[in-house]
Structure 1
Amino acid sequence: MPIEQRVIGGGQKIGGGKIGGGATAKEAPAPEPEAKKKGKKGLLIGIIAGVLVLGGAAAYYFLGMAGGGDAEAAEPPPEPGEVVAVEPISLNLAQGHYLRLGFSLQMTVEAGGHGAPDTGKAVDAAIALFSGKTVAEISDPETRDTLKGEFLHQLEELYHGEVMDVYLTNYVTQ
């Protein structure tokens, strides 16, 4: 009886090779779909990395601009100079009440070259800001802090940036 031979895949015969049908000397190449999956994973990782890099660059650019640009271009804060005390003044409040207000001006070092500052501008600004307020407005800590902030802003403008801070040294209502 004749022996039947069948061809499988790359020309291998049944029973050709080692006994037991084990692996042949020639290995079959890896299937293509797995290679394509790895390619898609690599592409996806590359896209994600690119988006993260671009996002980081955009954040650095915009936050750097909001922060004033380069750190080298930022102006250093002024150095504190002498503290100038202003004599306490009495201010008229609403409804016949009074405020006894004393304050000191924290000057910058650069302001020291001009001699003693004219405190008349500061007193005038205090009178304009605090006069006519009610005792309730003046006594409330939040309102007092807001008024102090407004007063400091006015002093910075009046003295062209030579005043760094203002300290309330006398604050009595009657």
Structure 2
Amino acid sequence: MATATKKAEESSAKEEKKGSKKKLILIILLVVLAAGGGGFGALTFLGSSKPHKAAFVPPKVGPIYGFGTITTNLSDGHLIQLGMSLQLGVKDLTTAITPLNKDMTDVVITDLSGWTYAQLLSPIAKLTLKKQLILDLNKIVKVATGKNEITDIYFTSFIMQ
């Protein structure tokens, strides 16, 4: 009987070893799969950013035309001194735009005179003013060049008093 009990204990010990080996193998397998999945996810994430960078095409921009500085009154009697530069399209239209300076200056003064000091304190109002100036100046430029060639405006100074 002692041998039968001894054999039963050995058999039980072997099953425990097999069970613990199975658990260990299962844990290792889960760790490897998790690491592999994380690595795959990281590679997919990193790999997915490359096509976006390759697909990005920077906008074609042309020269910047220094418009100069304009000083005028706002509608509430305050004074504004505005310096700006115009971002042109892909062509150099400096020679075509220079004769239009008087007309463009008139448009800028007219647009500015519709604003108040309090309105222009807001950054959103400055962006709105830029959009308004781009639209109005492009009306003049389109007559001379046939296209809307002003793509952006950069304020080089913006002083209100």
Give the TM-score, by structure 2 length.
0.53
Identity %: 31
| Residue equivalent to 1:145 | 127
Partners in 1 of 2:94 and 2:59 — Cα distance? 14
Letter in 1 for 2:84: F
How far 1:132 moved relative to its partner? 4.2
Larger Rg: 1
Are 2:65 and 2:94, in contact at CA under 8 Å, matched by a contact in 1?
no
Are 1:78 and 1:109, in contact at CA under 8 Å, matched by a contact in 2?
no
Match status 1:104 vs 2:65: no
- Residues 162 and 131 from structure 1, CA distance in 2 versus in 1: closer, same or farther, beyond 3 angstroms? same
Bigger share in helix: 2
- Residues 132 and 113 from structure 1, CA distance in 2 versus in 1: closer, same or farther, beyond 3 angstroms? closer
Are 2:65 and 2:86, in contact at CA under 8 Å, matched by a contact in 1?
yes
SS of corresponding position for 2:76: helix
How far 1:137 moved relative to its partner? 0.8
List runs of 5+ in structure 2 lacking aligned partners.
Answer: 1-57, 143-147
Can you list the C-alpha shifts for 1:104-163, whole angstroms capped at 9, x where unaligned? 111123343855533223211111111142110111111121111111111222211121
List runs of 5+ in structure 1 lacking aligned partners.
Answer: 1-76
Are 1:91 and 1:127, in contact at CA under 8 Å, matched by a contact in 2?
yes
Partners in 1 of 2:67 and 2:93 — Cα distance? 16
| Residue equivalent to 1:36 | none
Are 1:84 and 1:104, in contact at CA under 8 Å, matched by a contact in 2?
yes
| Residue equivalent to 2:75 | 94
The ranges of structure 1 where at least 4 consecutive aligned residues each deviate by more than 6 angstroms after the TM superposition are none
How many residue pairs end up in the alignment?
A: 99
Partners in 2 of 1:125 and 1:95 — Cα distance? 19
- Residues 154 and 83 from structure 1, CA distance in 2 versus in 1: closer, same or farther, beyond 3 angstroms? same
- Residues 109 and 143 from structure 1, CA distance in 2 versus in 1: closer, same or farther, beyond 3 angstroms? same
RMSD of aligned Cα (Å): 2.4
